[in-house]
Amino acid sequence: MRKSQFPLGASITKEQLAVNPYSIFEHLQRDEPITWVENYGLWLVTRYADVVEILKDAETFTMVPPVGQVNPMDALFGEMMLSMDGPAHRQTREVFMQPFRPKHVRTFYKDLIEAIVAELIEELRGQTVVDLAQAFADQIAILTVVATLGLNINDIATFRTWYDDFGAAIGNFDQDPMLASRGEQAFKKFEALILAEIEVLRETPNSSILSEIVHSPYQLETSQIVSNCALTFFGGVETTTSMISNALWCLLTHPESLAYAKQSEAHLANALEETMRYESAVQSAMRFPTKNVEILGVPVASGAKIYCSLSAANRDAAMFQSPHSFDASRENANKHLGFAYGPHFCFGAPLARLEALTGIQALLSEFPAVQLIDPVASQPYGHEFRAPRSLAATGF
């Protein structure tokens, strides 16, 4: 029945969404703005206005899975912000939001990020070919999130391994016991590190994000601090790496926008907002109706999976003129949903923006001749997290 009612949704595959979802989204917005995706057993919503309405209404559309379903991150990290709503979510989020306020981030972490970027720039200098995704974007993201949390960064490869194991376990849709076990072991090691650091910070506070959280007037349980630090670590690496890599690909494949972005810091900042619109690092936000609802006249049962497509909404012609064109000077680029919307808007956005701005500004200034070796092969890819798999470049 649903296949015949939603033929476009019935034909969607993961590979189509990973390679180039935008023509699919355009057809869906016109003909099936809410559709049933048979292959994944979920509802997909693609229009900007509808996505906003769902994301801002946490009472009707919650992050909390229905009884019997487990959020993969919950299963690994324990209960954290992405699986909470209501007062508990607001209180926990407020504690973590405080050290991520834009003014606070610039005051306490701008110099740190500039130092990280300067060191990475020197490592690139004189090299023949560099994968900017791995050697630059990824390094900025992981070094920054580890340093701002106040953790030891002498063994950054260990954090990289933990991150990879977290990602494999969270995306373990085939229930591979080996991947699950590796994720659990990585989390136990991360947990031990955070617990040890918390004990130190209780006696000797410092300027780190973790210290602010530990000494917040609203005292979180230690387990809540650990699970949400794991979320902050994982999300901070994935989103920022993808944001920087996508921005470099967009700018280096659009000469007019690149020239515009080089004119000033404000222009580059707007180019980064356009990047988040044009190639969203995170592609979707999942919600569960708390009651039977109708969306665009389609009945959706309580507890059903609803994927709000952030990337589709960001290419909605009703919101963005010429949505499939990358334009670094776009006036309403900052209306994108790349950091989601509503109560679960990404609290780490100010830090991610500062990392991307600082890193790309330095790279373009130091290496004005930088260019991609194969722009087509480097284009962003992915159905859930979207970024170039590699970003081979010359000009150093």
Distance, in Å, from the CA atom of 52 to the CA atom of 312, rounded to the nearest integer, reads 12
Burial letters 145-167, b for 16+ CB under 10 A, else e: bbbbbbbeeeeeebbeebbebbb
Assess contact for 360 and 247: CB atoms under 8 A: yes
pLDDT in 10s for each residue of the chain, 396 residues: 788 899 999 999 888 999 999 999 999 999 999 999 998 899 999 999 999 999 999 999 999 888 777 777 888 998 888 888 888 888 888 888 888 889 888 998 999 999 999 999 999 999 999 999 999 999 999 999 999 998 877 778 898 899 889 988 887 766 788 988 999 999 999 999 999 999 999 999 998 899 999 999 888 899 999 999 999 998 889 889 999 999 999 999 999 999 999 999 999 999 999 999 999 999 999 999 999 999 999 999 999 999 999 999 999 999 999 999 999 999 999 999 999 999 999 989 999 999 999 999 999 999 999 999 999 999 999 988 899 999 999 999
Q: Which helix (H) or strand (E) holds 309?
A: strand 306-309
Torsional class of 390: left (φ above 0), alpha (ψ -120 to 50), beta (otherwise)? beta
- The whole-number pLDDT of residue 183 equals 92
Give the type of residue at 381. Answer: Y
- The whole-number pLDDT of residue 109 equals 92
Assess contact for 370 and 394: CB atoms under 8 A: yes
For residue 335, give the DSSP letter: G
- Which residues lie below 8 Å from residue 16, measured CB to CB, with a gap of 6+? 24
Burial letters 274-300, b for 16+ CB under 10 A, else e: bbbbbbbbbbbbebbbbeebebeebeb
The CA distances from residue 34 to 46, 143, 152, 313, in Å, are 7, 40, 46, 12
The predicted model scores a pTM of 0.93
- The whole-number pLDDT of residue 175 equals 76
What domains sit in the chain, N to C, each tagged with a CATH number?
2-394 (1.10.630.10)
Structure tokens at 124: 């690139």
- The whole-number pLDDT of residue 81 equals 86
Assess contact for 210 and 230: CB atoms under 8 A: no
- The whole-number pLDDT of residue 173 equals 66
Burial letters 178-188, b for 16+ CB under 10 A, else e: ebbebbeebbe
For residue 268, give the DSSP letter: H
